[in-house]
Amino acid sequence: MQTLLQQIPKTDKLLNALNAKLQTPNQNLLKRLTLEFLDSYRQELLKGGELLDFESCIKRIIMLYQNATQKSLKPLINATGIVVHTNLGRSVFSEEILEEIKPLLTQYNNLEYHLQTGKRSERYLHLQRLFKTLLNAEDVLVVNNNAAAVFLILNTFAKGKEVIISRGELIEIGGGFRIPCVMEDSGAILREVGTTNKTHLKDYKDAINTDSAMLFKVHKSNYTITGFSKEVELKELIALAKECDLIDYYDLGSGYFDILDSIFKGFEPSLQSICTLNPSLISFSGDKLLGTAQAGIILGKKAHINKLKQNQLLRMLRADKFTIAALEATLNAYLQGNVKAIPTLQMLLRDKDFLHTLAQELAKGIPPCFKPKVIPTKSYSGGGAMPNHSLESFGVAFYAKDLNFLKLDATKLEQHLRNHRIIARLENSALILDVRTLLEGDLVQIVESFCALHKELQCKHI
Ligand SMILES: *Cc1c(COP(=O)(O)O)cnc(C)c1O
């Protein structure tokens, strides 16, 4: 045993060899991993493990080093057909927007500096003019995300006071964001009215008392109530709030510009149509249907926004320069009708002919032994908009009976694609690649992944 252990390479010798192989490695990390390797190697030997030659030891340590220095966040191909996919990073940026904001991030900028006077300025002012032009909004505030916007608004206006909300809107959305809990944590007192399926204006009216601060409406986002149901229109709530000198606040979750009316009209109102109602406050996410950076955008009356700015919490929730730069560039693209600068819009607006052609092109590239079939599919906008309504799309499907032939099944195929960073959808033992969410270059990569698998299987059924 002793002689066996004596054959373990010396640390210095290993480190010298490793340094010759790796380009400018982190010495501390390399040393730590080498010692960890030697330790576990020694344990293995004592348990009767196999002796490794010097080169094998080096290979193992290099593998450990590469694992430790590998980045965890990786680009993926979204073939799920869900455009705003929270698990896949929600909205995608165009090269155009990134190029546009690059100088703002690689150089200093006037984030909080007034160029004409040389005095201190405010970061939110960069967005004020754009929201005024686009939506005729009096004022704007941007925080880290929409959850932060909800919290800040409730905390500022309703701490220790009552907030009236319909029972049908006490939602929980992804990531455990529960409206009743957020309200409690913000210090607001929940005053729920109506029933799960029906809430009338009278319910709100009856609940108003001297402790009331706000009428709060929340977009249901991930569920719908169908059948015997009623909710109060925003317009009526705004009028009631005005009449009773209360604040109306609508957390609309997603928020979209009317360029997407062809998709959402009749399901959800656009930002334009909401803003013409002149609400006290609304808030929505930047990275859902708006198609830009993660942010909570608050629009509303100047006096209310000013009050929000005075809350110390804002200092903790404020958006950074990257967000503000991305927002300004994206809003400017909206102003110019530049859809191609906003991939979320582009993907949502793809028409059936385009999608059909794209699916055919994809199917053609895939080795025929996989029996790819172009099929109509249902894709979704995601991001909590129109949860129960699909968008007609096309995809390429692979069926269990065809895959059987290759000793494959949809789950195995899904796993293979996932290892190549392609996220597909499984539906009734078939695998589906929806083309609505494919970006430039994705098609080639998917085809390559199938060709690699084809080679692995040495498929003989062509
Ligand atoms: C998505 C959503 C939120 C949270 O927005 P984030 O930007 O993810 O923080 C809050 N309220 C509603 C209604 C939503 O749909």
Which of 52-56, 177-181, 228-232 tops mean pLDDT?
A: 52-56
**Alpha carbon of 265 to ligand 1 centroid (Å):** 20
Mean per-residue pLDDT of the chain: 95
> If you count them, how many residues does the chain have?
462
219 lines ligand 1 (CB under 6 A): yes
Pocket test for ligand 1, best of 143, 144, 146, 268 (most atoms within 8 A of CB): 146
Query: Is the pLDDT reported for residue 460 higher than 60?
Result: no
CB 388 within 8 Å of CB 42 = no
Rounded distance between C-alpha atoms, residue 289 and residue 385, angstroms: 8
Query: Is the pLDDT reported for residue 45 higher than 60?
Result: yes
φ/ψ (deg, to 5) at 85: -105, 110
**Alpha carbon of 293 to ligand 1 centroid (Å):** 14
Lowest-confidence pick of 46-50, 198-202, 341-345, 431-435: 46-50
Nearest CA to ligand 1 atom 11: 253
193 lines ligand 1 (CB under 6 A): no
Under the phi-then-psi rule, with left for phi > 0, alpha for psi from -120 to 50, and beta for the rest, what region is 233?
beta
When pLDDT is averaged across residues 354-381 and rounded to a whole number, the result is 97
Nearest CA to ligand 1 atom 2: 253
Nearest CA to ligand 1 atom 12: 253
Neighbours of 371 (CB within 10 A): 17
Quote the pLDDT of residue 2: 74
Query: Is the pLDDT reported for residue 461 higher than 60?
Result: no
When pLDDT is averaged across residues 369-374 and rounded to a whole number, the result is 97
Ligand 1 atom index nearest CA of 147: 9
Distance of CA 169 to the CA centre of its chain: 23
Nearest CA to ligand 1 atom 15: 253
CB 305 within 8 Å of CB 298 = yes
Rounded distance between C-alpha atoms, residue 286 and residue 146, angstroms: 8
177 lines ligand 1 (CB under 6 A): yes
Rounded distance between C-alpha atoms, residue 238 and residue 242, angstroms: 6
221 lines ligand 1 (CB under 6 A): yes
Rounded distance between C-alpha atoms, residue 256 and residue 270, angstroms: 5
**Alpha carbon of 285 to ligand 1 centroid (Å):** 6
Nearest CA to ligand 1 atom 1: 253
- Give start and end residues of each alpha helix (H) in 7-89: 11-21, 27-46, 54-69
When pLDDT is averaged across residues 382-407 and rounded to a whole number, the result is 91
pLDDT digits (tens, 9 = 90+) for 119-158: 999 999 999 999 999 999 999 999 999 999 999 999 999 9
442 lines ligand 1 (CB under 6 A): no
The whole model's pTM is what?
Answer: 0.92
- Spell out the residues 6+ positions from residue 43 whose beta carbon is closer than 8 angstroms to its own: none
pLDDT digits (tens, 9 = 90+) for 325-355: 999 999 999 999 999 999 999 999 999 999 9
Quote the pLDDT of residue 386: 80
Pocket test for ligand 1, best of 91, 166, 216, 221 (most atoms within 8 A of CB): 221
Rounded distance between C-alpha atoms, residue 265 and residue 226, angstroms: 18
Nearest CA to ligand 1 atom 5: 146
CA dihedral (278, 330, 317, 150) in degrees, to 10, reads: 40
Query: Is the pLDDT reported for residue 462 higher than 50?
Result: no
Quote the pLDDT of residue 246: 98
Ligand 1 atom index nearest CA of 295: 7
Quote the pLDDT of residue 416: 96
Lowest-confidence pick of 61-65, 193-197, 439-443: 193-197
Pocket test for ligand 1, best of 165, 285, 288, 298 (most atoms within 8 A of CB): 285
**Alpha carbon of 179 to ligand 1 centroid (Å):** 10
φ/ψ (deg, to 5) at 293: -75, 160
Quote the pLDDT of residue 459: 55
- Give start and end residues of each alpha helix (H) in 72-207: 95-106, 125-135, 146-158, 179-186, 201-207
**Alpha carbon of 377 to ligand 1 centroid (Å):** 27
CB 91 within 8 Å of CB 343 = yes
Ligand 1 atom index nearest CA of 219: 13
Quote the pLDDT of residue 128: 96
Query: Is the pLDDT reported for residue 420 higher than 80?
Result: yes
Query: Is the pLDDT reported for residue 53 higher than 90?
Result: yes
Q: Which of 17, 49, 51, 50 is nearest to 34 (CA)?
A: 17
Nearest CA to ligand 1 atom 6: 146
CB 135 within 8 Å of CB 299 = yes
Band of residue 266 on the pLDDT scale cut at 50, 70, 90? confident
Ligand 1 atom index nearest CA of 285: 7
